[in-house]
Structure 1
Amino acid sequence: MKTNFFKIVTLSIALGIAVVSCDKNDTNVTSSNQAANVVSDNQTVNEQSESAYQLADDATFLPFGGRNFRETGETLDKGGNGHFPMLGLGWDKPWKGKDGNCATVTKTVTNNVISIVYDFTAVAGGVCGDKEVGGKMTITMPVKPDSTFSGTLVRTVTYDNLKRDSLTVNGTHTITTTVVNGKATASEKLATITVLNSNTNKTITYTSSRIRSIDNKGTSDRSDDESSVTGSTTGKSSDGTSFSSNITKALVSKNTCSKGFPVSGTEEIITAAGVKTIVDYGDGTCDLKYTETTDGVTVEKERKRGKGGKGSK
């Protein structure tokens, strides 16, 4: 399992990943560069949501993709009963991972509410390894009941100038998880998230509402999970273009292959100028290919990632 610190790195990469969209036939492209940039930035929003959710889930061990409230659960795989009495968590001290000296991690409990703070502000020189770091990330949640629980649980993740390399993130991600008979569905609100890239001095700003469900394939291991997400987003892309997007067919991501990028599903994205683009992520094949249709013209593209998951334009 990846460490929490690595998850933070992955989240930051996803938040600001630059993209090369490779057109297979450039002469057929009729959508403006502005619309194409909106599509790219909207994909960054989607990837950020996936990474943010998995980070919160790993850090908190709460249900729905975590280690409890699954059909098989720990009762079969680990010999336990799915109940972590120590502050509702599966560990006595928050994980720091192999790069633990980079962040000060604290965990407190007040009135049955747990707060976990990852603080990078005191990192010497603002550099961890070869990466710039800074700011804080705070996760709050209720003390978790045992695995027989049915009801609603709320987790809140706050980014306070959280910095990784050239990216600085601010905003709040609220995850409301409803558990019924061991099955969980999450409604999510990412409120006024900003992602500033200091290299370009450009910012993506957005608010997104989503409904997420998980197919855990009947195992307690997340590696084979598939997520299905619906919802909508409004915001401004990195070039200042206002846009809205609406998921018209659930976006499905597979942990076995797509790293948060949809393998199927469709979105309708509209710029402030009224340019409408339909993005289709395909039939479930594990690749980074998709199509954009604007003004009746369809272009096949591919989301490109360079070394370490980063891309370049």
Structure 2
Amino acid sequence: MKSNFLKIAGLSIALGIMVVSCNKDDTTTTPTSQATSVVSDSQTANDQSESAYQLADDATFLPFGGRNFRETGETLDKGDGHFPFLGLGWGKAWKGKDGNCATVTKTVANNIITIVYDFTGVAGGVCGTQAVGGKMTITIPVKPDSTFSGTMVRTVTYDNLKRDSLTLNGSHTITTTLVSGKATASEKLATMTILNSNTGKTITYTSTRSRKIDNKGTGSRSDDESSVTGSTTGKSSDGTTFSTTITKALLTKNSCSNSKGFPVSGTEEITTAAGVKTVVDYGDGTCDLKYTETTNGVTVEKEKTKGKKGKN
């Protein structure tokens, strides 16, 4: 299971770095190599979307005692549908899993909770064994009562947020609509950039998505499943443009401990600047990191490589 901060940076748990395509150092770009690079970069965008959603969800869920952005059926958790003392009912400031080395502040104003993780003052710019820097800000509304129906907005914003060799800028806005206790989230990742300082290469993209959560009728998030549709456009790490369209909803399962956040089923079509189209198929729902790529009628089986504790 990834820690919150590492999810956002597209990293695996325990400070392991996910392999991303901007680590590639190809000297010659061919249509085939470009398609491979773009598929990997598109997966990085997928990972970023999952990471940002999970981070905002954790910040909402963990300290304030409710699954208030999945559904308002508080009877699952035996809650009364309200934050204690505007979400500040804990004896000490909540740091969550992202507080290591950062200066963490939490404020409430106009019914909005703002949590800031500031790494700019970390001595030597190193936390443990990893380089850190910049800031990350999460905003979430104070929780409404359990009968609420309407729209709420959460944001995760990155200001030169650095973890090891990756630096992130941009924002992820999650607009959740609750109707009769059921939630659907629309998401916008606006002008995201991920710079790899080892290679000097950057992925830049904008993504628009829709997410449905299936909580399996339980009060625990361990069995939740996310179904995501939408599209992404951007510039790949090789400097060329690309676009991705999810053609069959991408399904992720929290119960998949070794591949959490990675699709276990669904398909997407990825198009390079040269017009080469690749269909990526994530399988039949089995918890693994395997998928296939089909380009020009040729199908190749692949497996995602993650960090130190991921599956190779």
Same fold (TM over 0.5): yes
Contact 1:157 1:172 in 2 (8 A): yes
- Choose the corresponding residue for 1:10, options 7, 10, 32: 7
Unaligned 5+ runs, structure 2: 22-29
Tell me the CA shift for residue 143 of structure 1.
2.1
The amino acid that maps onto 1:159 is Y
Once the two structures are superposed, the pairs formed by residues 60-139 of structure 1 within 5 Å of their partners are 60-61=60-61, 67-68=67-68, 74-77=74-77, 79-88=78-87, 91=90, 93-97=92-96, 100=99, 102-139=101-138
The amino acid that maps onto 1:264 is S
Contact 1:71 1:220 in 2 (8 A): no
The amino acid that maps onto 2:32 is S
The amino acid that maps onto 2:40 is S
Say which SS state the counterpart of residue 57 (structure 1) adopts. Answer: helix
Supply the distance in 2 between the matched residues of 1:251 and 1:270 (Cα, whole angstroms).
18
Scaled by the length of structure 1, the TM-score of the pair is 0.87
Contact 2:7 2:52 in 1 (8 A): no
Contact 1:71 1:219 in 2 (8 A): no
Supply the distance in 2 between the matched residues of 1:184 and 1:90 (Cα, whole angstroms).
26
Q: Does 1:199 align with 2:198?
A: yes
Tell me the CA shift for residue 115 of structure 1.
1.6
Tell me the CA shift for residue 71 of structure 1.
6.3
Ranked by relative contact order (alpha carbons within 8 Å, sequence separation 6 or more), the top structure is 1
Contact 1:73 1:220 in 2 (8 A): no
Unaligned 5+ runs, structure 1: 21-29
Q: Report the equivalent of 2:44.
A: 44
Q: Report the equivalent of 2:251.
A: 252
Contact 2:72 2:181 in 1 (8 A): no
Supply the distance in 2 between the matched residues of 1:69 and 1:111 (Cα, whole angstroms).
19
Supply the distance in 2 between the matched residues of 1:189 and 1:297 (Cα, whole angstroms).
33
Distance 1:96 1:114, change over 3 A: closer
Q: Report the equivalent of 1:27.
A: none
Say which SS state the counterpart of residue 102 (structure 1) adopts. Answer: coil
Q: Report the equivalent of 2:184.
A: 185
Deviations 1:265-307 (CA, angstroms, capped at 9, x unpaired): 0101101110011111111111111111111111111112241
Q: Report the equivalent of 1:287.
A: 288
Aligned residues: 296
Tell me the CA shift for residue 68 of structure 1.
3.0
Say which SS state the counterpart of residue 84 (structure 2) adopts. Answer: coil
Say which SS state the counterpart of residue 238 (structure 1) adopts. Answer: coil
Q: Report the equivalent of 1:219.
A: 218
Output the aligned Cα RMSD.
Answer: 2.6
Supply the distance in 2 between the matched residues of 1:60 and 1:11 (Cα, whole angstroms).
15
Supply the distance in 2 between the matched residues of 1:90 and 1:255 (Cα, whole angstroms).
28
Q: Report the equivalent of 2:156.
A: 157
